[in-house]
Structure 1
Amino acid sequence: MKRILALVGTALALGLAQAPSPEALRGASPEEALLLAQRFREEGAQVVSYVTPEAFFFEFPDGRKARVALGDKFLVAVAPYRQRTHPCQVHYFSSCTGELAGETFTVRVLEGNKEELRTQVQTGKDGFFTLWLPRNRRYTLEVRQGDWVAQGALTTFAQSPTCLTGLRLSRR
Structure 2
Amino acid sequence: MTGLALVALLLSGCGSADDGAPTSEPSTSSASGDTLLERHDLAGLSGAEVVDTLDRLPLDDRPADLMASVKPDQLILTSGDEELALPTPDGEFYLSVAPYVDQTHDCFHHSLTTCKGELGGEEVKVTITDDTNGEVLVDDTVTTFENGFAGFWLPRDIEGTLTVEYDDKQATTEFATGAEDPTCLTTVRLA
Shorter-chain TM-score bucket reads 0.7 to 0.9
Q: What residue number does 1:65 align with? A: 83
**TM-score, structure 1 length as denominator?**
0.79
Aligned to 2:48: 31
Contact 2:58 2:147 in 1 (8 A): no
Larger relative helix fraction: 1
Task: Work out which of the residue numbers 159, 163, 168 in structure 2 matches 1:138.
Answer: 159
> Using the alignment, how far apart are the partners of 2:99 and 2:58 within structure 1?
23
Q: How many residues align?
A: 150
Question: Is the Cα contact below 8 Å between 1:40 and 1:47 reproduced in 2?
Answer: no
Return the offset for 1:143.
0.5
Distance 1:56 1:41, change over 3 A: farther
Q: How does 1:21-170 map to 2 (within 5 A)?
A: 21-23=36-38, 25=42, 27-38=44-55, 39=57, 42-45=60-63, 46-61=65-80, 63-70=81-88, 71-112=90-131, 113-170=134-191
**Greater relative contact order, per chain length (Cα 8 Å cut-off, separation 6+):** 2
Q: Tell me: CA distance 1:124–1:40, structure 2 relative to 1, closer, same or farther (3 Å).
A: closer
Q: Which amino acid aligns with 2:159?
A: R
Q: Which residue is 2:4 aligned to? A: none
2: distance between equivalents of 1:31 and 1:42?
22
The unaligned stretches of length 5 or more in structure 2 are 1-34
**Cα distance in 1 between the residues matched to 2:58 and 2:46:** 16
Provide the C-alpha distance between the structure 2 equivalents of 1:151 and 1:140, rounded to a whole number of angstroms: 7
Post-superposition shift, 1:116? Answer: 2.4
User: 2:116–2:147: 8 Å Cα contact kept in structure 1?
Assistant: yes
Which structure is higher in strand share?
1
Shift of 1:94: 1.5
Aligned partners of 1:135 and 1:99: how far apart in 2?
A: 27
Superposition deviation, residue 30 in structure 1: 3.0
Distance 1:44 1:27 in 2: 19
- TM-score with structure 2 setting the length: 0.71
Q: 1:40 to 1:25 in 2, by over 3 A?
A: farther
Identical pairs, percent: 30
